[in-house]
Amino acid sequence: MTTTNSLHELTGHEAGLIVYEDEVALICNWCRVDGLPRLDPMGITVMGFGEKFSLSTKSKKVPVKKVLARLVDNADGEADWNIIYAPNFEDDIKAIAEAAELGEKCEVWNIKDGEKTVQVFTFEGWN
């Protein structure tokens, strides 16, 4: 099992979508973050605590369309995931929607941080 403190090292990507167990999501660049990215207490930037985490299952490819469906409002008028940080939200959602329309797939990484599992999504064309 791979253990690291860098999503960049693990995924080969500098940015993507992170969904925590409580359905809170971040769309961010994690290139210079040691540990799992999280929002600072002021809600201004992304930071890490340098903790190590491991890949709990091998990454897999899923249709971007499935990810988009959880990010935007569904039939109930609410999204499944509560996005708390995305500095370029409109551009990011637009890029994800375009990838979904083209039938692209993204890679899903299941990360184990102690007792918690975090899902990390990386998209083709994103650094």
pLDDT in tens, 21-54: 888 889 999 999 999 999 888 888 899 999 999 8
What are 65-113's pLDDT values in tens digits?
888 888 876 656 677 788 877 777 788 888 888 999 999 999 999 998 7
Structural contact between residues 72 and 14, judged by C-beta atoms closer than 8 angstroms:
no
Put residue 35 in one of left, alpha, beta given phi > 0 → left and psi -120 to 50 → alpha.
left
DSSP 127: -
Structure tokens that stand for 32 in this block: 């210079």
The single-letter code of the amino acid at 61 is K
Dist CA 121 CA 18 (whole Å): 6
Pair 123, 96: CB distance under 8 Å: yes
Q: Are the C-beta atoms of 73 and 105 separated by less than 8 Å?
A: no
Indicate the residue type of 92.
D
* Tokens 């992304």 found at: 46
For the entire predicted model, the pTM comes to 0.88
Largest CA distance in the chain: 39
